[in-house]
Structure 1
Amino acid sequence: MAQWIVDYLPTWNIIRISGIAAYVLLFAGVFLGIAQGMPMAKGKPKAAMFKWHTRTTWLAFGLGLVHALTLYIDHYSPFTWGELLIPFTASVHPIGSGLGTLAFYGLVIVLLSSDLRNKLGRKWWFMFHMLSYPVFIGLLVHGMVTGTDSGNIIMRMIYVFTGLSILGITVLRGMLRERKGPEITIGPKRATSGSPSEQNWVEGFGLVGTVRPKHLK
Protein backbone atom coordinates (compact mmCIF):
# COMPACT_ATOMS: atom_id res chain seq x y z
CA MET A 1 0.00 0.00 0.00
CA ALA A 2 2.75 2.41 1.00
CA GLN A 3 4.74 1.59 -2.14
CA TRP A 4 1.64 2.14 -4.28
CA ILE A 5 1.18 5.61 -2.76
CA VAL A 6 4.83 6.47 -3.37
CA ASP A 7 4.65 5.24 -6.98
CA TYR A 8 1.74 7.53 -7.77
CA LEU A 9 2.90 10.62 -5.93
CA PRO A 10 3.60 13.63 -8.20
CA THR A 11 7.16 13.73 -6.86
CA TRP A 12 8.53 16.03 -9.54
CA ASN A 13 5.95 18.72 -8.76
CA ILE A 14 6.44 18.27 -5.02
CA ILE A 15 10.20 18.73 -5.41
CA ARG A 16 9.78 21.90 -7.48
CA ILE A 17 7.05 23.50 -5.37
CA SER A 18 8.60 22.68 -1.99
CA GLY A 19 12.02 23.94 -3.11
CA ILE A 20 10.72 27.25 -4.44
CA ALA A 21 8.41 27.77 -1.46
CA ALA A 22 11.20 27.00 1.03
CA TYR A 23 13.48 29.55 -0.63
CA VAL A 24 10.80 32.28 -0.69
CA LEU A 25 9.90 31.63 2.95
CA LEU A 26 13.54 31.73 3.99
CA PHE A 27 13.91 35.05 2.19
CA ALA A 28 10.89 36.37 4.10
CA GLY A 29 12.33 35.14 7.39
CA VAL A 30 15.74 36.69 6.81
CA PHE A 31 14.25 39.96 5.55
CA LEU A 32 11.85 40.27 8.49
CA GLY A 33 14.62 39.37 10.93
CA ILE A 34 16.69 42.29 9.67
CA ALA A 35 13.74 44.67 9.34
CA GLN A 36 12.40 44.11 12.86
CA GLY A 37 15.69 45.38 14.27
CA MET A 38 15.48 48.75 12.50
CA PRO A 39 15.31 51.79 14.83
CA MET A 40 11.93 52.78 13.41
CA ALA A 41 10.43 49.33 14.10
CA LYS A 42 8.67 49.63 17.45
CA GLY A 43 5.70 48.33 19.38
CA LYS A 44 3.18 46.02 17.72
CA PRO A 45 4.66 46.20 14.20
CA LYS A 46 8.03 45.12 15.59
CA ALA A 47 6.47 42.25 17.55
CA ALA A 48 4.48 41.14 14.48
CA MET A 49 7.60 41.14 12.28
CA PHE A 50 9.48 39.12 14.89
CA LYS A 51 6.65 36.58 15.11
CA TRP A 52 6.43 36.10 11.34
CA HIS A 53 10.21 36.09 11.03
CA THR A 54 10.24 33.04 13.30
CA ARG A 55 7.27 31.34 11.64
CA THR A 56 8.49 31.74 8.06
CA THR A 57 11.94 30.45 8.98
CA TRP A 58 10.60 27.28 10.56
CA LEU A 59 8.21 26.79 7.63
CA ALA A 60 11.19 27.10 5.28
CA PHE A 61 12.98 24.43 7.29
CA GLY A 62 9.97 22.10 7.11
CA LEU A 63 9.55 22.52 3.37
CA GLY A 64 13.28 22.05 2.88
CA LEU A 65 12.96 18.72 4.66
CA VAL A 66 10.03 17.74 2.41
CA HIS A 67 12.11 18.77 -0.61
CA ALA A 68 15.02 16.54 0.40
CA LEU A 69 12.90 13.51 1.34
CA THR A 70 10.98 13.69 -1.93
CA LEU A 71 14.26 13.67 -3.84
CA TYR A 72 14.95 10.30 -2.20
CA ILE A 73 11.68 8.72 -3.43
CA ASP A 74 11.57 10.46 -6.82
CA HIS A 75 10.81 8.10 -9.71
CA TYR A 76 12.77 9.86 -12.43
CA SER A 77 16.09 10.77 -10.79
CA PRO A 78 16.19 9.58 -7.15
CA PHE A 79 18.99 10.63 -4.80
CA THR A 80 20.63 8.18 -2.43
CA TRP A 81 20.97 8.96 1.27
CA GLY A 82 24.67 9.50 0.70
CA GLU A 83 24.03 12.04 -2.06
CA LEU A 84 21.53 13.86 0.15
CA LEU A 85 23.61 13.91 3.32
CA ILE A 86 27.17 14.24 2.00
CA PRO A 87 27.79 17.54 0.17
CA PHE A 88 29.06 17.47 -3.44
CA THR A 89 28.57 13.71 -3.92
CA ALA A 90 25.39 13.90 -6.04
CA SER A 91 25.61 12.50 -9.55
CA VAL A 92 23.48 15.38 -10.88
CA HIS A 93 24.62 18.99 -10.33
CA PRO A 94 27.10 18.06 -7.55
CA ILE A 95 28.08 21.68 -6.81
CA GLY A 96 24.54 23.05 -6.67
CA SER A 97 23.24 20.05 -4.74
CA GLY A 98 26.15 20.25 -2.32
CA LEU A 99 25.44 23.91 -1.61
CA GLY A 100 21.83 22.99 -0.88
CA THR A 101 22.95 20.33 1.62
CA LEU A 102 25.37 22.71 3.34
CA ALA A 103 22.72 25.44 3.48
CA PHE A 104 20.28 23.03 5.13
CA TYR A 105 22.86 22.07 7.74
CA GLY A 106 23.59 25.74 8.34
CA LEU A 107 19.90 26.48 8.86
CA VAL A 108 19.66 23.68 11.42
CA ILE A 109 22.62 25.16 13.31
CA VAL A 110 21.09 28.66 13.27
CA LEU A 111 17.71 27.46 14.53
CA LEU A 112 19.19 25.25 17.27
CA SER A 113 21.62 27.93 18.42
CA SER A 114 18.75 30.40 18.70
CA ASP A 115 16.84 28.05 20.98
CA LEU A 116 20.02 27.51 23.03
CA ARG A 117 20.96 31.18 23.14
CA ASN A 118 20.89 31.44 26.93
CA LYS A 119 23.27 28.49 27.27
CA LEU A 120 25.61 29.52 24.47
CA GLY A 121 25.96 33.16 25.48
CA ARG A 122 25.40 36.19 23.30
CA LYS A 123 28.73 36.18 21.46
CA TRP A 124 28.59 32.52 20.44
CA TRP A 125 24.93 32.85 19.49
CA PHE A 126 25.75 35.83 17.28
CA MET A 127 28.55 33.95 15.53
CA PHE A 128 26.20 31.05 14.74
CA HIS A 129 23.42 33.46 13.76
CA MET A 130 25.60 35.07 11.12
CA LEU A 131 25.46 31.76 9.24
CA SER A 132 22.10 33.07 8.03
CA TYR A 133 23.87 34.98 5.27
CA PRO A 134 25.77 32.01 3.75
CA VAL A 135 22.63 29.88 4.20
CA PHE A 136 20.58 32.32 2.13
CA ILE A 137 23.31 32.72 -0.51
CA GLY A 138 23.81 28.95 -0.68
CA LEU A 139 20.11 28.35 -1.31
CA LEU A 140 20.02 31.14 -3.88
CA VAL A 141 22.85 29.53 -5.86
CA HIS A 142 21.36 26.06 -5.28
CA GLY A 143 18.06 27.13 -6.83
CA MET A 144 19.69 28.87 -9.76
CA VAL A 145 21.96 25.90 -10.58
CA THR A 146 19.74 22.88 -9.91
CA GLY A 147 16.21 24.25 -10.33
CA THR A 148 14.47 23.16 -13.52
CA ASP A 149 12.53 26.43 -13.42
CA SER A 150 15.61 28.64 -13.06
CA GLY A 151 15.51 29.48 -16.77
CA ASN A 152 11.99 30.86 -16.40
CA ILE A 153 11.91 34.67 -16.54
CA ILE A 154 9.68 34.87 -13.45
CA MET A 155 12.06 32.73 -11.40
CA ARG A 156 15.01 34.81 -12.58
CA MET A 157 13.22 37.95 -11.44
CA ILE A 158 12.49 36.33 -8.07
CA TYR A 159 16.16 35.44 -7.57
CA VAL A 160 17.31 38.94 -8.55
CA PHE A 161 14.67 40.66 -6.40
CA THR A 162 15.29 38.57 -3.29
CA GLY A 163 19.07 38.78 -3.57
CA LEU A 164 19.09 42.56 -4.04
CA SER A 165 16.50 43.01 -1.27
CA ILE A 166 18.64 41.22 1.31
CA LEU A 167 21.71 43.14 0.19
CA GLY A 168 19.88 46.46 0.30
CA ILE A 169 18.25 46.04 3.70
CA THR A 170 21.54 44.77 5.18
CA VAL A 171 23.38 47.89 3.98
CA LEU A 172 20.55 50.14 5.19
CA ARG A 173 20.48 48.56 8.63
CA GLY A 174 24.25 48.82 8.90
CA MET A 175 24.05 52.54 8.11
CA LEU A 176 21.25 53.13 10.63
CA ARG A 177 23.06 51.12 13.29
CA GLU A 178 26.12 53.27 12.80
CA ARG A 179 24.03 56.34 13.64
CA LYS A 180 21.78 54.86 16.33
CA GLY A 181 24.20 52.51 18.07
CA PRO A 182 22.82 50.12 20.71
CA GLU A 183 19.16 51.12 20.19
CA ILE A 184 18.88 48.48 17.45
CA THR A 185 17.74 45.27 19.12
CA ILE A 186 16.85 41.70 18.23
CA GLY A 187 13.14 41.09 18.74
CA PRO A 188 10.87 43.41 20.73
CA LYS A 189 12.82 45.83 22.89
CA ARG A 190 13.78 44.42 26.27
CA ALA A 191 16.28 44.81 29.04
CA THR A 192 19.65 43.25 28.30
CA SER A 193 22.67 42.36 30.33
CA GLY A 194 26.33 42.60 29.48
CA SER A 195 28.74 45.39 28.70
CA PRO A 196 27.79 48.17 26.24
CA SER A 197 30.51 47.07 23.82
CA GLU A 198 29.16 43.51 23.80
CA GLN A 199 25.62 44.77 23.20
CA ASN A 200 26.78 46.90 20.26
CA TRP A 201 28.61 43.97 18.70
CA VAL A 202 25.84 41.40 19.10
CA GLU A 203 22.71 43.46 18.43
CA GLY A 204 23.70 44.51 14.95
CA PHE A 205 21.79 41.98 12.91
CA GLY A 206 18.74 39.81 13.67
CA LEU A 207 18.44 37.27 10.87
CA VAL A 208 16.79 33.91 11.42
CA GLY A 209 16.03 31.99 14.55
CA THR A 210 13.71 31.72 17.51
CA VAL A 211 15.00 34.12 20.14
CA ARG A 212 11.98 34.47 22.37
CA PRO A 213 11.63 37.55 24.59
CA LYS A 214 10.06 36.77 27.95
CA HIS A 215 6.77 38.51 27.29
CA LEU A 216 6.31 36.54 24.04
CA LYS A 217 6.73 33.09 25.60
Structure 2
Amino acid sequence: MTGTIQLAAGPSPLWYATRAGGTVALLLLTATVVLGIAVSGQYAPRRIARFEISTLHRNLSLLSLSFLALHIVTAIADTFVHLTWLDALLPFASSYRTLWLGLGTLAFDLLLAILATSAIRLRMGLRRWKAVHWLAYACWPLAVFHGAGTGTDTKLSLQLVLYVGCLAAVVAAVWWRLYRAGPGHRAARLWGGLATLAVPLLLAVFLAGGPLKPGWAQRAAGPAPAVALGSADPAGSVVRTEGTL
Protein backbone atom coordinates (compact mmCIF):
# COMPACT_ATOMS: atom_id res chain seq x y z
CA MET A 1 0.00 0.00 0.00
CA THR A 2 1.37 3.38 -0.95
CA GLY A 3 0.23 6.69 0.45
CA THR A 4 0.67 9.20 3.23
CA ILE A 5 -0.16 9.13 6.92
CA GLN A 6 -1.65 12.17 8.59
CA LEU A 7 -1.90 12.67 12.34
CA ALA A 8 -4.73 14.78 13.69
CA ALA A 9 -5.81 15.79 17.20
CA GLY A 10 -9.30 14.44 16.55
CA PRO A 11 -12.00 13.98 13.95
CA SER A 12 -13.08 17.00 11.92
CA PRO A 13 -16.25 18.85 13.03
CA LEU A 14 -17.57 18.09 9.55
CA TRP A 15 -17.28 14.38 10.36
CA TYR A 16 -19.50 14.83 13.41
CA ALA A 17 -21.94 16.96 11.40
CA THR A 18 -22.17 14.26 8.72
CA ARG A 19 -22.97 11.57 11.27
CA ALA A 20 -25.48 13.73 13.14
CA GLY A 21 -27.17 14.89 9.94
CA GLY A 22 -27.55 11.34 8.68
CA THR A 23 -28.96 10.07 11.98
CA VAL A 24 -31.49 12.88 12.30
CA ALA A 25 -32.48 12.49 8.64
CA LEU A 26 -33.19 8.78 9.22
CA LEU A 27 -35.35 9.56 12.25
CA LEU A 28 -37.30 12.21 10.35
CA LEU A 29 -37.70 9.93 7.33
CA THR A 30 -39.05 7.20 9.61
CA ALA A 31 -41.56 9.63 11.12
CA THR A 32 -42.53 10.75 7.61
CA VAL A 33 -43.15 7.18 6.46
CA VAL A 34 -45.18 6.33 9.57
CA LEU A 35 -47.34 9.44 9.16
CA GLY A 36 -47.73 8.72 5.45
CA ILE A 37 -49.06 5.28 6.29
CA ALA A 38 -51.43 6.82 8.84
CA VAL A 39 -52.74 9.34 6.32
CA SER A 40 -53.27 6.65 3.69
CA GLY A 41 -55.21 4.66 6.27
CA GLN A 42 -57.61 7.57 6.82
CA TYR A 43 -56.37 7.99 10.39
CA ALA A 44 -57.58 11.13 12.15
CA PRO A 45 -57.41 11.57 15.96
CA ARG A 46 -60.38 13.24 17.60
CA ARG A 47 -58.47 16.36 18.63
CA ILE A 48 -56.46 16.72 15.42
CA ALA A 49 -57.93 17.29 11.99
CA ARG A 50 -56.80 15.00 9.19
CA PHE A 51 -55.45 17.91 7.15
CA GLU A 52 -53.20 18.81 10.08
CA ILE A 53 -51.66 15.32 9.94
CA SER A 54 -51.12 15.75 6.20
CA THR A 55 -49.46 19.13 6.80
CA LEU A 56 -47.21 17.63 9.48
CA HIS A 57 -46.35 14.80 7.10
CA ARG A 58 -45.34 17.27 4.40
CA ASN A 59 -43.32 19.45 6.78
CA LEU A 60 -41.48 16.43 8.19
CA SER A 61 -40.56 15.31 4.68
CA LEU A 62 -39.11 18.75 3.90
CA LEU A 63 -37.25 18.77 7.21
CA SER A 64 -35.80 15.31 6.51
CA LEU A 65 -34.57 16.57 3.13
CA SER A 66 -32.92 19.53 4.88
CA PHE A 67 -30.96 17.30 7.25
CA LEU A 68 -30.16 14.98 4.36
CA ALA A 69 -28.72 17.97 2.50
CA LEU A 70 -26.61 18.76 5.58
CA HIS A 71 -25.46 15.14 5.64
CA ILE A 72 -24.39 15.29 1.99
CA VAL A 73 -22.78 18.74 2.02
CA THR A 74 -20.66 18.04 5.09
CA ALA A 75 -19.61 14.63 3.71
CA ILE A 76 -18.39 16.29 0.50
CA ALA A 77 -16.72 19.17 2.36
CA ASP A 78 -14.81 16.82 4.66
CA THR A 79 -11.53 15.78 3.04
CA PHE A 80 -11.26 12.57 5.08
CA VAL A 81 -12.94 10.75 2.19
CA HIS A 82 -12.84 12.41 -1.21
CA LEU A 83 -16.45 12.54 -2.39
CA THR A 84 -17.86 14.66 -5.20
CA TRP A 85 -21.28 16.01 -6.12
CA LEU A 86 -21.46 13.35 -8.80
CA ASP A 87 -21.11 10.71 -6.07
CA ALA A 88 -24.04 12.32 -4.25
CA LEU A 89 -26.33 12.33 -7.28
CA LEU A 90 -25.32 9.31 -9.36
CA PRO A 91 -25.89 5.99 -7.56
CA PHE A 92 -22.87 3.68 -7.25
CA ALA A 93 -20.52 6.21 -8.89
CA SER A 94 -18.25 6.52 -5.85
CA SER A 95 -15.17 4.32 -5.69
CA TYR A 96 -15.34 4.43 -1.88
CA ARG A 97 -17.82 2.01 -0.29
CA THR A 98 -19.59 1.88 -3.65
CA LEU A 99 -22.56 -0.26 -2.63
CA TRP A 100 -23.36 1.40 0.68
CA LEU A 101 -22.92 4.96 -0.51
CA GLY A 102 -24.85 4.04 -3.65
CA LEU A 103 -27.85 2.95 -1.58
CA GLY A 104 -27.90 6.34 0.14
CA THR A 105 -27.59 8.15 -3.20
CA LEU A 106 -30.43 6.11 -4.64
CA ALA A 107 -32.65 6.96 -1.66
CA PHE A 108 -31.79 10.64 -2.10
CA ASP A 109 -32.66 10.55 -5.81
CA LEU A 110 -36.01 8.91 -5.06
CA LEU A 111 -36.79 11.60 -2.49
CA LEU A 112 -35.95 14.28 -5.04
CA ALA A 113 -38.31 12.63 -7.52
CA ILE A 114 -41.08 12.66 -4.91
CA LEU A 115 -40.42 16.32 -4.12
CA ALA A 116 -40.39 17.32 -7.78
CA THR A 117 -43.63 15.51 -8.61
CA SER A 118 -45.34 16.89 -5.51
CA ALA A 119 -44.71 20.40 -6.84
CA ILE A 120 -46.62 19.55 -10.04
CA ARG A 121 -49.15 17.16 -8.54
CA LEU A 122 -52.16 18.97 -9.96
CA ARG A 123 -50.73 18.86 -13.47
CA MET A 124 -49.68 15.21 -13.51
CA GLY A 125 -52.84 13.89 -11.91
CA LEU A 126 -53.48 12.26 -8.55
CA ARG A 127 -53.11 8.68 -9.78
CA ARG A 128 -49.67 9.27 -11.33
CA TRP A 129 -48.54 11.29 -8.35
CA LYS A 130 -49.55 8.50 -5.96
CA ALA A 131 -47.62 5.99 -8.09
CA VAL A 132 -44.46 8.08 -7.75
CA HIS A 133 -45.16 8.76 -4.08
CA TRP A 134 -44.97 5.03 -3.36
CA LEU A 135 -41.22 5.42 -3.91
CA ALA A 136 -41.07 6.86 -0.40
CA TYR A 137 -41.55 3.35 0.95
CA ALA A 138 -38.49 2.24 -1.04
CA CYS A 139 -36.40 5.16 0.23
CA TRP A 140 -36.69 4.11 3.84
CA PRO A 141 -35.09 0.60 3.71
CA LEU A 142 -32.41 1.95 1.35
CA ALA A 143 -31.59 4.65 3.91
CA VAL A 144 -31.50 2.11 6.75
CA PHE A 145 -29.07 -0.20 4.95
CA HIS A 146 -27.00 2.78 3.81
CA GLY A 147 -26.60 3.94 7.38
CA ALA A 148 -25.87 0.46 8.72
CA GLY A 149 -23.31 -0.33 6.02
CA THR A 150 -21.56 3.02 5.87
CA GLY A 151 -22.03 4.57 9.29
CA THR A 152 -19.15 4.54 11.73
CA ASP A 153 -21.58 4.40 14.67
CA THR A 154 -23.27 1.14 13.71
CA LYS A 155 -21.56 -0.80 16.50
CA LEU A 156 -22.70 1.63 19.19
CA SER A 157 -25.52 0.35 21.39
CA LEU A 158 -27.46 3.61 21.08
CA GLN A 159 -27.30 3.47 17.28
CA LEU A 160 -28.52 -0.12 17.27
CA VAL A 161 -31.41 0.87 19.54
CA LEU A 162 -32.21 3.66 17.08
CA TYR A 163 -32.36 1.18 14.19
CA VAL A 164 -34.59 -1.15 16.20
CA GLY A 165 -36.91 1.72 17.10
CA CYS A 166 -37.20 2.86 13.48
CA LEU A 167 -37.88 -0.67 12.28
CA ALA A 168 -40.47 -1.30 14.99
CA ALA A 169 -42.30 1.96 14.20
CA VAL A 170 -42.57 1.26 10.47
CA VAL A 171 -43.50 -2.41 10.90
CA ALA A 172 -46.20 -1.51 13.44
CA ALA A 173 -47.56 1.20 11.14
CA VAL A 174 -47.72 -1.16 8.14
CA TRP A 175 -49.43 -3.90 10.16
CA TRP A 176 -51.92 -1.37 11.50
CA ARG A 177 -52.62 -0.23 7.94
CA LEU A 178 -53.13 -3.82 6.78
CA TYR A 179 -55.47 -4.46 9.71
CA ARG A 180 -57.59 -1.42 8.83
CA ALA A 181 -57.80 -2.58 5.21
CA GLY A 182 -60.65 -4.90 6.21
CA PRO A 183 -61.31 -8.57 5.56
CA GLY A 184 -60.82 -8.36 1.76
CA HIS A 185 -57.58 -8.86 -0.14
CA ARG A 186 -56.38 -11.50 2.32
CA ALA A 187 -53.52 -12.63 0.07
CA ALA A 188 -52.27 -9.06 -0.44
CA ARG A 189 -52.39 -8.43 3.31
CA LEU A 190 -50.47 -11.64 4.02
CA TRP A 191 -47.74 -10.88 1.50
CA GLY A 192 -47.57 -7.27 2.68
CA GLY A 193 -47.05 -8.37 6.26
CA LEU A 194 -44.38 -10.90 5.29
CA ALA A 195 -42.58 -8.35 3.12
CA THR A 196 -42.52 -5.93 6.04
CA LEU A 197 -40.92 -8.56 8.26
CA ALA A 198 -38.26 -9.25 5.62
CA VAL A 199 -36.56 -5.86 6.15
CA PRO A 200 -35.72 -6.29 9.87
CA LEU A 201 -34.73 -9.93 9.33
CA LEU A 202 -32.38 -9.04 6.47
CA LEU A 203 -30.93 -6.17 8.49
CA ALA A 204 -30.31 -8.44 11.50
CA VAL A 205 -28.53 -11.02 9.33
CA PHE A 206 -26.51 -8.29 7.63
CA LEU A 207 -25.45 -6.66 10.89
CA ALA A 208 -24.43 -9.98 12.42
CA GLY A 209 -22.33 -10.97 9.43
CA GLY A 210 -21.00 -7.54 8.49
CA PRO A 211 -20.80 -4.26 10.46
CA LEU A 212 -20.79 -5.90 13.89
CA LYS A 213 -17.77 -8.04 13.01
CA PRO A 214 -14.17 -6.77 13.22
CA GLY A 215 -12.65 -5.40 10.04
CA TRP A 216 -15.91 -4.27 8.47
CA ALA A 217 -14.55 -0.79 7.60
CA GLN A 218 -11.84 -2.32 5.41
CA ARG A 219 -14.18 -4.85 3.78
CA ALA A 220 -16.89 -2.26 3.09
CA ALA A 221 -14.44 0.17 1.51
CA GLY A 222 -13.68 -2.21 -1.35
CA PRO A 223 -10.75 -1.94 -3.78
CA ALA A 224 -11.06 1.83 -4.06
CA PRO A 225 -8.15 4.15 -4.84
CA ALA A 226 -7.35 6.98 -2.48
CA VAL A 227 -9.27 5.45 0.41
CA ALA A 228 -9.02 7.20 3.76
CA LEU A 229 -9.16 4.98 6.82
CA GLY A 230 -9.31 6.31 10.36
CA SER A 231 -8.56 4.67 13.68
CA ALA A 232 -8.76 6.31 17.05
CA ASP A 233 -6.27 5.65 19.84
CA PRO A 234 -7.25 5.72 23.54
CA ALA A 235 -6.29 9.37 23.78
CA GLY A 236 -8.76 10.30 21.06
CA SER A 237 -6.25 11.17 18.36
CA VAL A 238 -6.92 9.98 14.84
CA VAL A 239 -4.49 8.41 12.46
CA ARG A 240 -5.53 8.85 8.84
CA THR A 241 -4.04 6.70 6.17
CA GLU A 242 -4.58 7.79 2.60
CA GLY A 243 -3.34 5.82 -0.32
CA THR A 244 -3.99 3.02 -2.73
CA LEU A 245 -5.13 -0.33 -1.36
Q: How does the TM-score come out when normalised to structure 2?
A: 0.65
User: Does the alignment pair 1:16 with 2:26?
Assistant: no
- Matches of 2:42 and 2:133 in 1, distance apart? 20
* SS of equivalent to 1:78: coil
Letter in 1 for 2:18: I
Structure 1 residue 178 displacement after superposition: 2.7
Name structure 1 gaps, 5 residues minimum. Answer: 1-8, 181-217
- Matches of 1:40 and 1:82 in 2, distance apart? 40
Structure 1 residue 176 displacement after superposition: 0.6
- Matches of 2:86 and 2:36 in 1, distance apart? 33
CA gap of 1:40–1:63, structure 2 versus 1, over 3 A, is closer
Letter in 1 for 2:70: V
Percent of aligned positions that are identical: 29
- Matches of 1:36 and 1:158 in 2, distance apart? 24
Moved over 6 A (4+): none
Match in the other structure for 1:160: 164
Which is strand-richer, 1 or 2?
2
Match in the other structure for 1:74: 78
Letter in 2 for 1:28: A
Match in the other structure for 2:39: 36
Match for residue 102 of structure 2 among 79, 82, 98: 98
Say whether the 8 Å CA contact 2:29–2:60 is kept in structure 1.
yes
Match for residue 176 of structure 2 among 172, 184, 197: 172
* SS of equivalent to 1:89: coil
Structure 1 residue 117 displacement after superposition: 1.7
CA-atom RMSD in angstroms: 2.2
- Matches of 1:156 and 1:52 in 2, distance apart? 27
Q: How does the TM-score come out when normalised to structure 1?
A: 0.73
Match in the other structure for 2:210: none
Structure 1 residue 144 displacement after superposition: 0.5
Structure 1 residue 44 displacement after superposition: 4.8
Structure 1 residue 36 displacement after superposition: 3.2
Aligned residues: 174
